[in-house]
Amino acid sequence: MIHVQNRELVVPGQLIAEGDYRLRDGTFREGKQVYSAVVGLAELRGGEIRVIPLQGRYIPSRGDVVIGVVVDSHYSGWILDLNSPYTGNLFVSDLVHRKVDLLREDINKYLSIGDVVVAKVKDVDERMRVQLEIDQPWMGRVEKGKLVEISPVKIPRVLGRKGSMLKTLQDVGRCRVRVGQNGRIIVLGRDHRMVNAVVEALLMIEREAHTSGLTDRVRLMLEKIVSGGGD
């Protein structure tokens, strides 16, 4: 028995359904009843219920790609700000992928405070201590590009269904776009104008995240700038 429509706006404590459903984020159960825990859009898919949040902080979870800023270094690694209640810890060996003799080698040559790093969340323990790693060649220290910060709950919209929005941004905007699940995005491109246009597009996505046909509007806006129009 379902009490709301698909994609209906729900508020905390609102009854969504009664019965055996699999619960995802943003919901909780009391007896047979399923309630929303946050303000968001209730999504019912198969036997699954979740609430897409409209607001909230980034909470690290294993496997996420995040963009961090180095805020401190310690004996064997660095502490990264993740735009979250929790900081991330990156060990040297998870950055350079070999055994590092800490007595002989000065690790400050790899990263310094203020550096921006693309990393993967390797593990999060029950006390929310976050371990990071660099396990792809394209991860690691960011050398250049523009860093944009948007609300973390809007990141799925930046990616789009099966990455369609991201593809539009990259292909039409002629930029490389790296998206961190924590709401940080790096835009890299040769043409300043296009980089700025993509940044504008990202801010537009954040503003208009819950409207339909957004990918088309973003495409239109970028195409106009490519063809020399716009401002």
- Helices within the chain (DSSP H only): 93-96, 155-159, 164-173, 192-207, 214-226
Nearest CB to another protein, comparing residues 188 and 204: 204
- Minimum distance of another protein from residue 106's CB (angstroms): 28
- Minimum distance of another protein from residue 38's CB (angstroms): 5
Q: CA 119 to CA 199: how far, in whole Å?
A: 21
- Return the SS3 of 203: helix
Q: Are 51 and 41 in contact (CB under 8 A)?
A: yes
Centre a 10 Å sphere on the Cβ of residue 123 and count the other Cβ atoms it contains: 12
Nearest CB to another protein, comparing residues 63 and 85: 85
- Return the SS3 of 47: coil
Non-local CB neighbours of 106 within 8 Å, separated by 6+ positions? none
Q: CA 79 to CA 72: how far, in whole Å?
A: 5
Q: CA 140 to CA 90: how far, in whole Å?
A: 11
- Minimum distance of another protein from residue 219's CB (angstroms): 17
Question: Which residue ranges make up the site for another protein (CB under 8 A)?
Answer: 9, 11-14, 26, 28, 35, 37-39, 53-57, 59, 85-87, 126-128, 153, 207-211
- Minimum distance of another protein from residue 22's CB (angstroms): 18
- Minimum distance of another protein from residue 192's CB (angstroms): 28
